[in-house]
């Protein structure tokens, strides 16, 4: 409301009061006739009605202006930041509209700045994804990144090469496809369960598996979890053991093959000498015959060694992986809990063995189920201890009867594996037997030990950053940097002086 409107409102108020006073005064005068009084009342009533009408329009205009201002402000906030409020006729409305439009300008600028930041962040994220994909694509190992359900989210060409079959029409490796179609589902489920129950410092699980194309691979699996969240997926790296086996076989056979050259050459030279000199003295002929005999023996030994090396291919330990004894015992104990009470005697902290935990789990579970079905023991015990350069894994129970049935179980085919317990033990290059010890009996598996340098990862309060892709975009220093003062440079000084 401007000054003119305020003054007009005051004038109307005074006029109304004056008219009301005049009406009352005239109504009290005896000289006025009835008609005069009636006319006066009508005039005053008309004036009052006009004043009331004008005041009503003024109030309605003010209310309409506020309502329109609110609607336009909602339009700016909700859908159209570029919209501006139209100023009203009242001075207050004009000032309010100016303030709202100023706020709208700043609001639109803020939205534009945030949109620009978001665009830059998305572009930077896309660039980092491209760099990460490029780095993974150039890795010598196969890489698969999967979600919790096993669907492939990222892979590289090496993994596709290792897992595909040359004669198939399409690729088994692809975005959205399942890793469970590439490996035994039970093996992957077993490894995921083992990784989830390991301590935070040993979450990486290394194991060996045969892919659907028949290729023997060594896999390393590590769960992936977002900060303060449950596991969201896992990463698997693939290494070709089939090629390693061929290379190792070549490395073992080649020196032996080369070792055949010298004996064969010596035998040939001796025979050629005898054939060329028929009148050779007897003593010289005898020496040449001795050479042929000795070289033939060496040749025979080399051939036998070649046969032994070839028959031992592939080496069994290529299919076994280093495993901490405590981890193996914990995994077995969890599997036996549904059968009843299970006690575990933990091995030393530094006991590492070469094992296929998936095979051993099924062997121990199969034997434990047989024991429970046959004798219903009150409890079972698992022991793992070093024994004569091996690791002795024992399944112990209280034996009141003969253990002869257990010997037969060792040669029964385990349904989940299609192998017997003895075959699994042979796969580990170990030994297997049943033994009584007082009131107890146990099945003992001797497993190979190994030396494994394990450095536990420190637990960190927050996830560190192991990369800085911005380094790829930093400009090289100018050619005149050597002429710049040291106070303008960021540098580190190393004192290489040695004083003894």
* pLDDT digits 0-9 by tens, 41-89: 676 677 667 767 766 666 666 667 677 788 888 888 888 888 888 887 6
Task: Check residue 36 and give its pLDDT.
Answer: 64
Q: Are 179 and 150 in contact (CB under 8 A)?
A: yes
Residue 341 domain-assigned (yes or no): yes
Q: Hey, CA dihedral for 351, 356, 361, 367, is it positive or negative?
A: negative
Q: How confident is the model at residue 314 (pLDDT cuts 50, 70, 90)?
A: very low
CATH number for the domain spanning 391: value is 3.30.565.10
The C-alpha angle 158, 164, 170, rounded to 5 degrees, equals 120
DSSP 8-state code for residue 151:
B
How far is CA 344 from each of CA 311, 331, 366, 393, rounded to the nearest angstrom? 39, 11, 18, 11
Are 170 and 87 found together in one domain? no
Q: Are 27 and 43 in contact (CB under 8 A)?
A: no
User: CB under 8 Å to 153, separation ≥6 — which residues?
Assistant: 145, 146, 147, 175, 233
For residues 99 and 306, what is the distance between their CA atoms, to the nearest angstrom? 95
Q: Hey, CA dihedral for 148, 151, 156, 159, is it positive or negative?
A: positive
Q: How confident is the model at residue 445 (pLDDT cuts 50, 70, 90)?
A: very high
Are 309 and 327 found together in one domain? no
Q: Are 384 and 391 in contact (CB under 8 A)?
A: yes
Average pLDDT over residues 209-213: 83
User: For residues 468 and 358, which has the higher predicted lDDT (pLDDT)?
Assistant: 358
Are 119 and 143 found together in one domain? no
Are 122 and 9 found together in one domain? yes
Q: Are 161 and 173 in contact (CB under 8 A)?
A: no
For residues 321 and 354, what is the distance between their CA atoms, to the nearest angstrom? 5
Are 33 and 110 found together in one domain? yes
Residue 36 domain-assigned (yes or no): yes
Residue 55 domain-assigned (yes or no): yes
The pairing of beta strand 379-387 with beta strand 352-355? unpaired
How many C-alpha atoms does 175 have within 13 Å on its Cβ side?
2
pLDDT, tens digit, 9 for 90 and up, residues 319-331: 677 888 888 888 8
Alpha-carbon 245 to chain mean position: 29
User: CB under 8 Å to 348, separation ≥6 — which residues?
Assistant: 325, 386
Task: Check residue 201 and give its pLDDT.
Answer: 65
Are 216 and 265 found together in one domain? no
Are 107 and 27 found together in one domain? yes
Are 303 and 172 found together in one domain? no
Q: Which of 301, 317, 333 is the last residue of a domain?
A: 317
Torsion of CA 87, 92, 97, 100, to 10 degrees: 180
Are 107 and 143 found together in one domain? no
For residues 130 and 151, what is the distance between their CA atoms, to the nearest angstrom? 20
Are 345 and 408 found together in one domain? yes
Where is mean pLDDT largest: 33-47, 128-142, 216-230, 366-380?
366-380
Residue 460 domain-assigned (yes or no): no
User: For residues 308 and 438, which has the higher predicted lDDT (pLDDT)?
Assistant: 438
Q: Which of 219, 244, 269 is the last residue of a domain?
A: 244
The count of structural domains within the chain is 4
Residue 310 domain-assigned (yes or no): yes
Q: Are 319 and 219 in contact (CB under 8 A)?
A: no
Reduced 3-state DSSP string for 304-361: HHHHHHHHCCCCHHHHCEEEEHHHHHHHHHHHHHHHCEEEEECCCCCCEEEECHHHHH
User: CB under 8 Å to 444, separation ≥6 — which residues?
Assistant: 392, 393, 394, 431, 432, 433, 434, 435
Give the structural domain span for 430: 322-448
Are 397 and 441 found together in one domain? yes
Are 110 and 153 found together in one domain? no
Q: Which of 275, 290, 317 is the last residue of a domain?
A: 317
For residues 288 and 112, what is the distance between their CA atoms, to the nearest angstrom? 98
């Amino acid at each position: 409301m401007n000054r003119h409107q305020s003054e007009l409102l005051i004038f109307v108020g005074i006029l109304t009061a004056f008219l009301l006073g005049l009406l009352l005064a005239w109504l009290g005068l005896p000289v006025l006739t009835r008609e005069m009084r009636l006319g006066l009342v009508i005039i005053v009533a008309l004036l009052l009605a006009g004043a009331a009408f004008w005041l009503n329009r003024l109030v309605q205009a003010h209310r309409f202006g506020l309502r329109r201002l609110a609607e336009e402000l909602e339009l700016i906030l909700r859908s159209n930041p570029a919209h501006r409020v139209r100023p009203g006729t009242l001075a207050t409305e004009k000032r309010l509209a100016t303030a709202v439009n100023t706020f709208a300008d700043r609001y639109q600028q803020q939205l534009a700045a945030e949109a620009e930041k978001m665009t830059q962040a998305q572009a930077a994220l896309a660039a980092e994804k491209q760099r990460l994909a490029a780095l993974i694509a150039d890795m010598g190992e196969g890489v698969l990144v999967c979600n919790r359900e096993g669907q492939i989210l990222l892979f590289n060409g090496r993994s596709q090469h290792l897992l595909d079959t040359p004669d198939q029409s399409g690729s088994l490796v692809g975005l959205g496809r399942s890793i469970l179609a590439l490996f035994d589902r039970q093996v992957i489920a077993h490894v995921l369960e083992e990784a989830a129950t390991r301590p935070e410092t040993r979450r990486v699980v290394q194991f060996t598996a045969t892919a659907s194309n028949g290729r023997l691979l060594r896999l390393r699996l590590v769960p992936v979890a977002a900060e303060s969240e449950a596991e969201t997926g896992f990463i698997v790296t693939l290494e070709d053991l089939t090629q390693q086996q061929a290379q190792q076989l070549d490395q073992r056979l080649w020196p032996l093959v080369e070792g055949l050259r010298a004996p064969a050459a010596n035998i040939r030279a001796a025979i050629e000498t005898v054939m060329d000199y028929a009148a050779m003295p007897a003593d010289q002929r005898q020496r040449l015959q001795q050479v042929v005999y000795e070289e033939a023996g060496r040749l025979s030994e080399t051939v036998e060694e070649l046969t032994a090396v070839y028959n031992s291919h592939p080496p069994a330990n290529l299919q076994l992986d280093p495993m901490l004894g405590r981890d193996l015992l914990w995994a077995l104990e969890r599997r036996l809990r549904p059968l009843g009470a299970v006690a575990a005697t933990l091995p030393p902290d530094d006991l590492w063995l070469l094992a296929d935990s998936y095979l051993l789990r099924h062997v121990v579970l199969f034997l434990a189920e047989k024991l429970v079905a046959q004798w219903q023991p009150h409890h079972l015990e698992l022991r793992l201890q070093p024994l004569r350069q091996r690791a002795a894994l024992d399944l112990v129970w209280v034996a009141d009867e003969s253990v002869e049935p257990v010997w037969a179980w060792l040669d029964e085919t385990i349904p989940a594996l299609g192998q017997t317990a003895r075959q699994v033990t042979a796969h580990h290059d170990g030994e297997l037997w049943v033994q009584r010890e007082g009131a107890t009996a146990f099945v003992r598996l001797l497993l190979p030990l190994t030396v494994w340098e394990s450095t536990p990862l420190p637990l960190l309060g927050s996830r560190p950053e192991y990369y800085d892709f911005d380094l790829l975009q930093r400009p090289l220093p100018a050619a005149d940097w050597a002429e710049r003062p040291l106070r303008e440079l960021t540098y580190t000084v190393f004192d290489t002086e040695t004083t003894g």
